[in-house]
Amino acid sequence: MENKQDNPKVLKNKYIPTAEFYSQIIDSLQDYSIFTLDNELIINSWSSGSTKIFGYESEEIIGKSFDLIFTEDDLKNGVSAKEIETSLKEGRATDNRWHVTKDNTLFYAYGLVFPLTGLDGEMLGYVKILRDLTDRKQSEDAIKTYIKELEELNTHKESVMAILSHDLRSPLSAIIGTAKYLKDNFMKMKADDVQEMLDLLYKSSIDELDMLDYLVEWARIKYAADGFTPTTLKLCETIDKVFEKLNETAVVNTIKLHHEIKPDIAVYADGKMLLSIIQNIVSNALKHTEKGGEIKISAKIEPDKIIVQVKDTGIGMSKEIMEKLFTPQMKTLTETRKQNKGAGIGLLLVKGFLEKNGGEIWVESNEGEGSSFYFTLPTEEPAYKIGSSDEIMFDESA
């Protein structure tokens, strides 16, 4: 016999849904996570859509704290408490943020929380509704990134043309002029003068080739997608290779090279790029460290990345130089090339490599007190790339 209590009631042709009927509707919304909290913010109901999105079965999560679904950064910033506070003040609280699933992966969601009250106005707890918008967020971020790259491409195109016409063309003109003078006057020149001019030609040609190589490599990494193969790498192994390659220069200048990187510390990056990043930074430090100085590499591990510090006891930099150090401006490159032994375009290459690998770079320095270059790299392959910290507000009806 059919149990009428389990079905919507019909009284005088009026349709009165039961609590179970509402529960069935909620469970049918597989694209939404809907759950409730008691007054102590403990989860006390859990929809099937919540299981699909978060990965927790009802028996695993009922009785657990509301904080379980928030990221560590949001918990440190008191986001969960602020949500509840706002919902009490305004009747509801909405947000767009990253949440954590059972297997610790992140997903981006639109969220709504509001107080749940009884018939007499007594406080029963809260209702939380989430919709997974990760695909939409990633599409938004991809569009933002593409627009940014187009803007950068236009800016860098102008900078590259300036570098080609000034930093490369001018020295090449001097080389041609010197070679022409030698060709026209070789027979009547003294041997010492010829040797001096040949030495100058050789040095200028090497400098020109080095700068061209930097520029080509920078442009290739900045704009080309091929050849990028990130993998898990032991950081100390790459540093040891760089130290071995630069050891002769360090010994000649009595500069000590050492690192404090443990053998098990790993990063997720392209091997060739990582080698170039460290080699360029250490080479730059060698150029600006006086004899008897020291260059030390250390690292700090954070939850999803590693921060590497390359510290030298060199001449340091002014605030003005630091502000322009990673900016591809013709004037900056020309001045740093002349005054600071070629620093500048190599660091632009480093910046491009790091951005390609999901990292960043910055510097701290005082004139006469040395410099510390810091860069970050992910410690493992990201499930997806989180975009900028700019909040993206979605239409609640989405």
- Looking at residue 293, its pLDDT comes to 93
> 3-state class of 301 per DSSP?
strand
- Looking at residue 148, its pLDDT comes to 65
Give me the tens of pLDDT residue by residue for the chain, a chain 398 residues long: 444 444 554 444 554 444 454 455 555 555 678 888 888 899 888 887 888 888 888 888 899 988 888 888 888 888 888 888 998 989 888 888 888 888 888 888 888 888 888 777 788 888 888 887 776 666 666 666 656 666 665 655 666 666 666 666 767 888 888 889 888 998 998 999 889 889 888 888 887 777 777 667 666 655 554 567 899 999 999 999 999 999 988 998 899 999 999 999 999 999 988 998 999 899 889 988 999 999 999 999 988 899 999 999 999 888 888 887 876 554 444 454 444 444 456 787 788 889 888 899 999 998 888 999 999 999 988 654 433 333 333 344 43
Task: Note if the pTM is more than 0.85.
Answer: no
Burial of 75 (0-12, 13-18, 19+ CB in 10 A): middle
- Looking at residue 47, its pLDDT comes to 83
| Contacts (Cβ under 8 Å, ≥6 apart) of 170 | none
CATH dotted code for 139-378: 3.30.565.10
Q: Domain boundaries in the chain? A: 4-132, 139-378
Contact call for residues 33 and 111 (beta carbons, < 8 A):
no
User: What gap in Å lies between CA 43 and CA 125, rounded to an integer?
Assistant: 10
- Residue 43, token pair as written in the block: 């989860």
Residue range 4-132 forms a domain whose CATH class is alpha beta
Q: What is the DSSP string of 137-157?
A: HHHHHHHHHHHHHHHHHHHHH
